[in-house]
Amino acid sequence: MSDTLGHPVGKVIAVHLAYPSRAEQRGRIPAEASYFFKAPSSLAGPGEVVRPEGTELLVFEAEIALVIGTAGRNISEEDAWSHVGWVTAANDMGLLDFRAADKGSNVRSKSGDGMTPIGPRLIDAATVDPSALRIRASVDGEVVQDDSSSTLLFSFAHFIADLSRFMTLEPGDVILTGTPAGSSVLAPGQSVTIELTSETDPSITSGELTTTVVAGPPLADIGSAPKADDRQRIDAWGSREAAGLESFELTPELRERLSKVAVATLSSQMRQKGYPNVSIDGVHPMKPGTTLVGRARTLRYVAHRPDLFRAHGGGYNAQKRAVDTVNEGEVLVMEARSFEFAGTLGDILALRAKVRGAAGIITDGAVRDWGPVGDVDLPVFAQAAHPSVLGRVHIPWSVDDTITCGGVTVQPGDVIVGDDDGALVIPPHMVLEILAASEQQEAEEEFIALMVADGHPVEGLYPMNAAWRARFEEWASAR
């Protein structure tokens, strides 16, 4: 494909995450821009795109495309826009059924023929304000994406300056600058229309870029087969609910019920269901009598290494991003390799989490500023107190990954419950069943304790035989 001014298309570079609306939807804020390549042969104009039989996750992503007009290397941010010849609408489509097989490269999932519709008209970059461009997408006539370049986490100039540190940007290169929230999945028969306009002069437009999905034959039976799991479906559709997956909401009523059940009881019920390893070993509440209930957010530390700490430890690092994005009712769970000789939390970050509405923090490492952290009045579970900063042995590495805290796997969204006995992890799909069983167990144990206190022997009572079971049922129904 060539643009209308005759330049052959060169590299196609796409930005992973650039809009706050999308970052909020994904639950993570990138510290730096990141990129991937798409094949130039994926470029197309308005028309049709094929979804092969056997695939389900054909996604669309409305994006602003920058077309380089003047070559440059090591371009400054101040000069960056002068190297952009044109802007237009683009659709960063892909088959996410192949994302896992690509292992991050997006070669098969994003570079198929027709997977990058662009156009239909190029807008002279000199006629628009780069911070006042609006991108919209409609599916079958309904607007699903609508955002402005003024909200970008990183400016267009940043992308150009960053990329040109490593490669010469040449006339005809295309930079796809990320998508806002609202992208989703298309089925055969559906159409998506994308348009780019100037917010200062709406008459300046790329025109409507319409792509219709058609069903196609299956791909040849060679190499990795398409595969879609729930994680891919959630990312593709935008949410668990949109993907049609069973949703779980930790309602105020459920929080209250979980807070009244002992962690020891929950642990017993989890073990009976085949989950013996759910307790976060080594942690205890900073203040006796503390209870904690919430959905997990995760933060992972790795072992200190000077070069990696210089790159990842300073500035707006993963630790600060995690605390800055924890939401109301969530528990920030930290994997600190069960190393109790370095602080992973201090009073300032504890206060920030408290202000954000966090339900608590759990670290299998140590806490510094023990007294002031306790004064914040935020439920915190940790191994011990230690005065050192995390940079002595740790590097804050990643947010919202699957982690191991205190020997237990924790995934974002898991339900965390804590009391004086410690803390444990419950997969969301098990919460209702485990809670009901735990409440039943505690009612039985209350009855047994009353009977023992009344002088009855434990034989036949603990556990209850049929006769005692009948008496328990009568007692329970009379409560």
- Residue 1 has a pLDDT of 35
Amino acid at 447: F
Residues 17 and 135 in one domain: yes
The rounded distance, in Å, linking the Cα atoms of 275 and 272 is 7
- Domain stops at, among 426, 455, 471: 426
Q: Compute the mean pLDDT over every residue in the chain, rounded to the nearest whole number.
A: 93
pLDDT at 7: 58
Domain contains 298: yes
Q: Are residues 146 and 267 in the same domain?
A: no
Question: Are residues 74 and 210 both part of a single domain?
Answer: yes
Whether the ω angle into residue 463 lies within 30 degrees of 0, i.e. cis, is yes
Amino acid sitting at position 463 = P
**313 lies in the same domain as 455:** no
Q: Please state whether beta strands 191-198 and 43-44 pair in parallel, antiparallel, or not at all (unpaired).
A: unpaired
What CA–CA distance (Å, rounded) separates 269 from 272? 5
Per the structure, the count of domains in the chain is: 3
Q: Tell me the binding residues for substrate.
A: 346-349, 368
Instruction: For residue 185, tell me if it sits in a domain.
Output: yes
Q: 225-234, 297-306, 415-424, 441-450: which has the minimum mean pLDDT?
A: 225-234
Question: What gap in Å lies between CA 371 and CA 334, rounded to an integer?
Answer: 20
- Locus of tokens 């643009």: 3
Residues 64 and 211 placed together within one structural domain of the fold = yes
Q: Does the pLDDT at position 230 exceed 90? A: no
Output the six-digit token pair for 84. Answer: 């952009």
pLDDT of residue 246: 66
0.85 cut: is pTM over it? no
CB atoms within 10 A of CB 165: 9
Q: Is it the case that residue 339 has pLDDT exceeding 50?
A: yes
% residues pLDDT > 70 (the chain)? 98
Considering the domain architecture, whether residues 181 and 256 belong to the same structural domain is answered as: no
Return the pLDDT at 29.
82
Residues annotated within the binding site are 346-349, 368-369
Residue 7 lies in a domain: no
CB 286 within 8 A of CB 420: no
Residue ranges at the known binding site for Mg(2+): 369
| Pair 297, 159 in one domain | no
Give domain status of residue 321, yes or no.
Answer: yes
**Structure confidence at residue 2 (pLDDT):** 38
* Long-range contacts of 101-107, Cβ-Cβ distance < 8 Å, separation of 24 or more: 101/223, 101/224, 101/227, 104/36, 105/36, 106/14, 106/36, 106/37, 106/38, 107/39
How would DSSP label each residue in 118-156?
Answer: B-SSPEEGGGS-TTSEEEEEEETTEEEEEEEGGG-SS-H
Q: What is the helix (H) or strand (E) element at residue 52, kind and residue range?
A: strand 47-52
Q: How many whole angstroms separate alpha carbon 366 and alpha carbon 424?
A: 18
pLDDT at res. 239:
82
Judge whether residue 389 has pLDDT over 60: yes
Strand 174-176 and strand 62-68: pairing?
Answer: antiparallel
* CA neighbor of 381 nearest in space, from 304, 293, 267: 293
What number is the average pLDDT over the span 419-441? 94
In a domain, 1, yes or no: no
Residue 27 has pLDDT above 80, yes or no: no
Give the 3-state secondary structure percentages of the chain, helix then strand then coil, rounded to 5: 30, 30, 45
Per-residue pLDDT tens for 105-151?
Answer: 899 999 999 999 999 999 999 999 999 999 999 999 999 999 999 99
* b/e sequence 78-95, b meaning 16+ C-beta within 10 Å: eebbebbbbbbbbbbbbb
- Number of H helices and E strands in the chain, helices first, is 13, 28
**Same structural domain, 265 and 285:** no
Among 383, 398, 426, give the residue marking a domain's end: 426
Has residue 406 got a pLDDT over 90?
Answer: yes
Residue 244 has pLDDT above 90, yes or no: no
Q: Is 68 part of a structural domain of the chain?
A: yes
Between vectors from CA 356 to CA 355 and to CA 357, what angle results, nearest 5°? 90
Could you tell me which residues are beta bridge partners of residue 205? 197
- Domain range for residue 150? 12-237
CA 111/CA 95 separation, integer angstroms: 9
* Cα–Cα distance, 251 to 256 (Å, whole number): 9
At position 41, the amino acid (one-letter code) is S
Here the CATH number for the domain that contains residue 36 is 3.90.850.10
Scanning the structure block, which residue is given the tokens 């198929």?
A: 112
- CATH number, position 354: 3.50.30.40
What is the rounded distance in angstroms from the CA atom of residue 154 to the CA atom of residue 18?
Answer: 6
Strand pairing of 174-176 and 35-38? unpaired
